[in-house]
Structure 1
């Protein structure tokens, strides 16, 4: 018996193949995770009833995100971006209207009528519009895809129905 008979066969180094396999699997996992995240974001952005026309007035230069308080989470979800409040009113009948702005300067309209449970539910007691233009100091107009317009300022909320000559006007109780 020779001394080499007692020794096990020489081991093949496995450190480098393990490192290479780990890097390769990390790249695959990251790519798949990124693709699934983008898919989820696209699915969330298209969910629920909403108005989808975006208009920004020419007189409104892109700006940084306003430093106001955050807009309702329901509006942020539909806009798929961070929104900050630039104007808010509460009417004498309990309707709350937020005018929100994103970091690109686009304006959004979120309204909530009084409800029993107090929750904002789009399509039931909430209306989100992204076709908003600034008319003046604390004065805005939002237009729905059906042509109805909502004008809001420090004194009133005016709703003009496109299919009739009827308007509804609500006085403002508080404005921010």
Structure 2
């Protein structure tokens, strides 16, 4: 009986935390858009093309903002495509697709979506997976630094869009 009570308490706390975070993100987004004075400078919000549909669906399913716009995109020499997306509040997201010429983007199969992304410099971004693996993407290359100690994987960029 005590174990069940503890287990249910943990579940309740987790759900409450997740709902609170989701609410906080929505409030932050509405405060930013609702309190701004109209201006002709629209550079604060991304104006690029929408990110891939699969990326938007994934963000939405995780309770993240789904107003994602592409601010950076590369295609590597081994046909990996990486998009850096930005929501209306300025948060960054990483989406990659390996072997992009062999079918549609599918998360967990040939796609990887990450929400822990930082801008490291002009056109350089660092994305970190839950397991600690880090992805550095810029105009020259895509580097994958594996958390388990495997050798760093480097792919050269063929094209920047």
TM-score normalised to structure 1 length: 0.62
CA RMSD of aligned residues (A): 1.5
What whole-Å deviation, never above 9, does each CA across 1:42-89 have from its counterpart, x for those lacking one? xxxxxxxxxxxxxxxxxxxx8743100110011111212110000000
Match of 2:49 in 1: 69
Match of 1:150 in 2: 135
Secondary structure of the equivalent of 1:79? helix
- Asked if 1:141 corresponds to 2:121, the answer is no
Deviation of the 1:115 alpha carbon: 5.3
- Asked if 1:92 corresponds to 2:92, the answer is no
- Pair 72,122 (structure 1): closer, same or farther in 2 beyond 3 Å: same
TM-score normalised to structure 2 length: 0.68
Identify which of structures 1 and 2 has the higher relative contact order when contacts are C-alpha pairs closer than 8 Å and 6+ apart.
1
Largest Rg, 1 or 2: 1
Structure 1: tracts of 5 or more residues without a match = 1-61
Structure 2: tracts of 5 or more residues without a match = 1-31, 33-42, 61-65
Secondary structure of the equivalent of 2:74? strand
- Pair 119,100 (structure 1): closer, same or farther in 2 beyond 3 Å: same
Alpha-carbon distance between aligned partners in 1 of 2:78 and 2:105, rounded to the nearest angstrom:
16
Match of 1:44 in 2: none
Runs (4+) of structure 1 exceeding 2 A deviation are 62-65
Match of 1:166 in 2: 151
Residue 114 (structure 1) aligned to one of 95, 99, 119:
99
Match of 2:113 in 1: 128
Secondary structure of the equivalent of 2:54? helix
